[in-house]
């Protein structure tokens, strides 16, 4: 029981260090086509940064939900699937095809994980149109919850 309480306190302290309403940390990573993307490229539209891994079972289950929302709201909101744990483009493209999703992929790195306090996958960081942190969603989420957050940003 004591160990569980300590774990909860650690997670809570990590979550609090990424403050809502503050400008998101800067980052610079490549997308799946080799183009550099950084935080300032996201300004002007709300953004979902979806942190995932190719071996993450929950990510595989959640990605079709996120892809439906991407197809519905992708003109008005930036969606990026930030892959962690691999830079192998062949593997990433294979997984995208197998999981059947079209969300653009960014190749995450340790610096981005650290700055965004990523403690596991799936995790979604929601930014407003000014790149301020709006929400942090840990673990699998329902389509209704994510869509509600999207609608509140439009």
Residues 95 and 54 sit within 8 Å (Cβ to Cβ): yes
Residue 137 makes CB contacts below 8 A (sequence gap 6+) with: 123, 124, 125, 126, 145, 146, 149
pLDDT at 13: 44
Say if residue 4's pLDDT is above 80: no
**9-49 pLDDT per residue, tens:** 444 444 445 566 788 999 999 999 999 999 999 999 999 99
**53-68 pLDDT per residue, tens:** 999 999 999 999 999 9
Q: Which domains does the chain have, with CATH numbers?
A: 2-153 (3.40.30.10)
**74-129 pLDDT per residue, tens:** 999 999 999 999 999 999 999 999 999 999 999 999 999 999 999 899 999 999 99
Say if residue 69's pLDDT is above 80: yes
Phi, psi of 59, rounded to the nearest 5 degrees: -65, -45
pLDDT at 11: 47
pLDDT at 7: 46
pTM recorded for the entire structure = 0.86
- What are the tokens at 86? 């691999």
Residues 104 and 80 sit within 8 Å (Cβ to Cβ): yes
Residue 149 makes CB contacts below 8 A (sequence gap 6+) with: 126, 134, 135, 137
pLDDT at 22: 85
- What are the tokens at 25? 């940390």
Q: Tell me if residue 37 falls in helix, strand or coil.
A: strand
């Amino acid at each position: 029981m004591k160990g569980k309480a300590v774990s909860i306190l650690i997670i809570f302290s990590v979550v609090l260090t990424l403050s809502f309403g503050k400008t998101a940390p800067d980052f610079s990573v490549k997308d799946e086509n080799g183009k550099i993307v950084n935080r300032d490229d996201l300004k002007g539209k709300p953004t979902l940064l979806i942190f995932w891994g190719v071996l993450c079972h929950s990510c595989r289950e959640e990605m079709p939900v996120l892809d439906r929302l991407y197809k519905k709201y992708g003109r008005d909101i930036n969606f990026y699937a930030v892959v962690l744990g691999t830079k192998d483009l062949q593997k990433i493209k294979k997984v995208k095809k197998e999981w059947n999703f079209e969300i653009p992929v960014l190749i995450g790195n340790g610096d981005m994980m650290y700055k965004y306090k990523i403690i596991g996958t799936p995790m979604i960081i929601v930014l407003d149109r000014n790149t301020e942190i709006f929400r942090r969603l840990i673990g699998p989420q329902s389509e209704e919850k994510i869509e509600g957050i999207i609608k509140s940003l439009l």
